[in-house]
């Protein structure tokens, strides 16, 4: 009888791109020697331990968020009311990820679990605490979807949203085809849903920007840690970002290479330059696709661009410089894609969004090339308000600056250590091309940060991970954990810094619903501050006016008075809604009158003979009689 000794089984170590160094048994069922197995695959209990750690972090984090008292949230946002247990949970989540990343053999399922826990703990705080949609824009978006669902058409002169209706059309299809007309649940849980949906696209992109899978996973982790922008609500930009990331990942994975043949001096010079600056290019991915497959995927790229174009006004313009620079650096063979990325949004603007274009020529092109105006709108005008709010604004700016600085260091390190860095660096800087074009309502810098973050995150972690597939040592893991902890704490501060302004109570929603039941159709509805959870009903059924914008008052701005409210009231009268969030916003942003918004409203109500129609813990509704010479 021949007994096959387990020691005779031959094993082979291979460097697999998905799991790092793995051991493959050549003889089939014969198991490797336990000691050898341990040495090659590491301690088998470690993954279980890290998975348990993730589960504990999830339970502890959700429980900690559930204990937050919403009434205590002030000018500095959520950070001042989060219990210490929340930070313990966040720390466990971070340690769990870094530990999982340091395992001898990478386990993708474990890393996915760790990232999902991080998404829930870090980006799910608002839905878990408030159980309502965040940001007044979420309610507006629900209202637009409701309008489309009810009318089956567009009102393109009403506002910009109807000129880029793709995403709202999708919501309306979902609502109509399922019979679920209230999509508030989707808006509430969107921050978690959007971030989960971004995960495959981010990972696919990071795998093409990194020298090994560990760096890619760490890059995705860093994206979630540094994503304080909060654009992950139920919005066209969140959907368009998903399409953009998928498009870029598809281009880098399926179509790497030069878009032109090696002819001409310029072409050779560009190729030579790129070869000099980036010595270690990522190896091409073997896809085993047919020629038809490549054509279909090129068409998919065009479909994604078209989807972006009809869904959001800014994202396609962010795609142009990124795709252009990727083509110029030999990372995209699809020469027509940057051209299409330019043509589609321009044609859409001219031929489909004509009502918007005609009414907003000055807004669109008035500050073209004016860097001062863009800097003022994105930076200077944002710094203001109460000291706590200014701290939040500065912490946002500081975090963005630190990420870009670390990405710069990562680029240098990548070049020095002959690792792939150029595509990530180009993706980081490309969105800045948009900066001198226009201010985008003062949000452009914030959006630039969002578009560049998936690329920058891969560079930030580059110096902290080894070049090869081997796991990082204890020192590197410690540094990664420290950096992650600092960035995560900063993101909790920055992301939830405006929580008192951006979130609403059930009483405020009930107040707005009551307003729609009181006010006849066509009436003018006035909000004291542009921070009201309304317009989720009858989007086009009323005329909406705003007394004060939700931004820090600029020097020279006239303080609001009773006369400035009366100016908004037509001869037929109007309704004024004043909510708790509006009062918080006025206080935090220092945008209200010196006497305080509540006092001003009380005084004006007395002087103007306003009648209070409804009042609850969320605020008040007044009926304002029509001025004889009103608008």
Residues in touch with other proteins (CB under 8 A):
16-19, 108, 148-149, 152-154, 165-167, 169-170, 172-180, 197, 199-201, 203-204, 207-208, 213, 239, 242-243, 245-247, 249-250, 253-254, 257, 284-294, 296-297, 300, 303-304, 306-308, 310-311, 333, 352
- Compute the C-alpha angle 373/378/384, nearest 5°: 110
> Which residues neighbour 426 within 8 Å (Cβ) at sequence distance 6 or greater?
322, 325, 326, 329, 331, 455
Closer to other proteins at the Cβ: 424 or 550? 424
347 contact partners, CB below 8 Å, separation of at least 6:
none
Smaller CB distance to other proteins: residue 214 or 389?
A: 214
Question: Shortest Cβ distance from residue 353 to other proteins (Å)?
Answer: 11
What's the closest the beta carbon of residue 82 comes to other proteins, in angstroms? 32
- Bridge partners (DSSP) of residue 524 are 543, 574
Torsion of CA 96, 102, 107, 109, to 10 degrees: 20
**Closer of 239 and 327 to other proteins (Cβ):** 239
Q: Of all helices (H) and strands (E), which one includes residue 543?
A: strand 543-548
Specify the 3-state DSSP secondary structure of 187.
Answer: helix
Looking at the Cβ atoms of 174 and 343, the one nearer to other proteins is: 174
In whole angstroms, the minimum distance from the beta carbon of 244 to other proteins comes to 9
Residues 487 and 222: beta-carbon distance below 8 Å = yes
Select 42 or 166, whichever has its Cβ closest to other proteins.
166
Class of residue 22 by CB neighbours under 10 A (exposed 0-12, middle 13-18, buried 19+): middle
Based on CB atoms, which residue is closest to other proteins, 309 or 581? 309
- What values do phi and psi take at 82, rounded to 5? -70, 135
CA distance 501 to 389: 11
Q: Which is nearer to other proteins, 352 or 437 (CB)?
A: 352
> What are the backbone angles phi and psi of residue 599, rounded to the nearest 5°?
-65, -40
Q: How far is the CB of 98 from other proteins (least distance, A)?
A: 19
According to DSSP, the β-strands at 574-579 and 619-624 are antiparallel
DSSP count for the chain of H helices, then E strands: 26, 7
Q: Phi, psi at residue 555, to the nearest 5°?
A: -60, 135
Shortest Cβ 291–other proteins spacing (Å):
4
Alpha-carbon torsion 91, 97, 98, 99, what sign?
positive
Indicate the residue among 114 and 175 with the shorter CB distance to other proteins: 175
DSSP string over 103-153: SSS--HHHHHHHHHHHIIIII-HHHHHH-S--SHHHHHHHHHHHHHHHHSS
Minimum CB distance to other proteins, residue 172 (Å): 7
Cβ 153 to other proteins, closest distance in Å?
7
By beta-carbon proximity to other proteins, the closer residue of 254 and 526 is 254
For the chain, the first-to-last Cα distance in angstroms comes to: 104
From CA 445, how far away is CA 198, in angstroms rounded? 21
Nearest to 391 by CA among 609, 76, 158, 165: 76
Q: Which is nearer to other proteins, 26 or 288 (CB)?
A: 288
Least separation in angstroms between residue 257's CB and other proteins is 6
Q: 3-class SS at 93? A: helix
Q: How far is the CB of 585 from other proteins (least distance, A)?
A: 33
The 3-state DSSP class for residue 366 equals coil
- What minimum distance in Å lies between the beta carbon of 107 and other proteins? 11
Q: How many CB atoms lie within 10 A of CB 228?
A: 26
Name every residue whose Cβ is closer than 8 Å to that of residue 494 and which is 6 or more positions away in sequence: 228, 392, 395, 396, 399
Q: What minimum distance in Å lies between the beta carbon of 74 and other proteins? A: 38
Q: How far is the CB of 83 from other proteins (least distance, A)?
A: 35
Who contacts 629 (Cβ-Cβ below 8 Å, separation ≥6)?
Answer: 571
Taking the least distance from each CB to other proteins, the nearer of 174 and 328 is: 174
Beta-bridge partners for 525: 544, 575
**Residue number with CB closer to other proteins (220 or 553):** 220
d(CA 151, CA 201): 35
Q: How far is the CB of 246 from other proteins (least distance, A)?
A: 4
Q: How far is the CB of 458 from other proteins (least distance, A)?
A: 14
Q: Residue 248 or 525: which CB sits closer to other proteins?
A: 248
- Residue placing its CB nearer to other proteins in the complex, 309 or 452: 309
User: 403, 411 in Cβ contact below 8 A?
Assistant: no
């Amino acid at each position: 009888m021949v007994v096959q000794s387990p020691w005779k089984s031959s094993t082979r170590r291979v460097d697999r791109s998905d799991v790092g160094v793995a051991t493959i048994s050549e003889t089939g069922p014969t198991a490797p020697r336990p000691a050898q197995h341990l040495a090659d695959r590491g301690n088998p209990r470690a993954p279980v331990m890290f998975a348990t750690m993730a589960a504990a972090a999830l339970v502890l984090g959700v429980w900690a968020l559930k204990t937050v008292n919403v009434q205590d949230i002030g000018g500095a946002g959520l950070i001042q009311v989060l219990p210490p247990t929340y930070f313990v949970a966040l720390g466990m989540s971070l340690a769990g990820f870094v530990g999982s990343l340091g395992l001898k053999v990478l386990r993708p399922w474990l890393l996915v679990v760790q990232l999902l826990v991080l998404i829930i703990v870090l980006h799910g705080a608002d839905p878990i605490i408030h159980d309502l949609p965040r940001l007044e824009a979420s309610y507006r978006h629900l209202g637009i979807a409701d309008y489309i669902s009810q009318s089956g058409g567009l009102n393109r002169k009403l506002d910009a949203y109807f000129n880029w209706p793709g995403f709202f059309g999708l919501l309306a299809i979902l609502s109509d085809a399922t019979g679920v007309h209230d999509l508030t649940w989707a808006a509430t849980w969107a921050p978690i849903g959007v971030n989960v949906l971004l995960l495959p696209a981010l990972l696919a992109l990071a795998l093409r920007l990194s020298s090994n899978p560990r760096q890619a996973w760490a890059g995705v982790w860093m994206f979630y840690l540094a994503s304080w922008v909060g654009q992950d609500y139920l919005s066209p930009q969140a959907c368009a970002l998903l399409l953009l990331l998928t498009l870029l990942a598809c281009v880098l994975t399926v179509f790497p290479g030069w878009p032109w043949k090696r002819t001409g001096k310029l072409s050779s010079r560009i190729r030579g330059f790129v070869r000099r600056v980036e010595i270690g290019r990522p190896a091409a991915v073997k896809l085993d696709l047919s020629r038809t497959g490549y054509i279909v995927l090129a068409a998919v790229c065009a479909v994604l661009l078209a989807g972006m174009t009809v869904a959001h006004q800014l994202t396609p313009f962010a795609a142009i410089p990124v795709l252009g620079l990727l083509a110029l650096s030999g990372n995209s063979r699809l020469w027509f894609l940057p051209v299409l990325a330019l043509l589609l949004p321009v044609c859409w603007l001219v031929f489909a969004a004509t009502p918007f274009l005609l009414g907003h020529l000055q807004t669109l092109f008035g500050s073209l090339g004016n860097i001062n105006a863009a800097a003022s709108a994105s930076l200077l005008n944002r710094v203001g308000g109460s000291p706590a709010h200014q701290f939040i604004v500065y912490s946002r700016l500081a975090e963005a600056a630190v990420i870009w600085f670390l990405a710069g260091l990562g680029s240098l390190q990548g070049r020095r250590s002959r690792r792939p860095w150029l595509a990530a660096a180009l993706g980081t800087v490309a969105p800045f091309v948009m900066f001198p074009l226009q201010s985008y309502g003062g949000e452009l810098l914030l959006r630039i940060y969002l578009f560049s973050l998936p690329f920058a995150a891969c560079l930030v972690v580059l110096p902290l991970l080894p070049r090869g597939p081997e796991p990082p040592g204890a020192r590197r893991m410690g540094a990664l954990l420290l950096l992650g902890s600092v960035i995560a704490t900063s993101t909790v501060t920055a992301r939830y810094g405006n929580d008192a302004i951006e979130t609403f109570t059930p009483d405020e929603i009930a107040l707005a619903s009551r307003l729609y039941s009181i006010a006849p159709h066509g009436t003018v509805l006035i909000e004291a501050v542009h921070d009201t959870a309304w317009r989720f009903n009858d989007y086009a059924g009323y005329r909406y006016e705003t007394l004060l914008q939700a931004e820090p008052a600029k020097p020279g701005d006239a303080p609001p008075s009773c006369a400035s409210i009366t100016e908004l009231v037509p001869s037929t009268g109007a309704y004024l809604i004043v909510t708790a969030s509006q009062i918080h916003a006025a206080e935090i942003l220092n945008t209200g009158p010196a006497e305080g918004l509540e006092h001003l409203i009380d005084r004006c109500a007395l002087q103007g003979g306003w009648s209070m129609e409804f009042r609850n813990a969320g605020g008040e509704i007044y009926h304002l009689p029509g001025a004889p010479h009103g608008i």
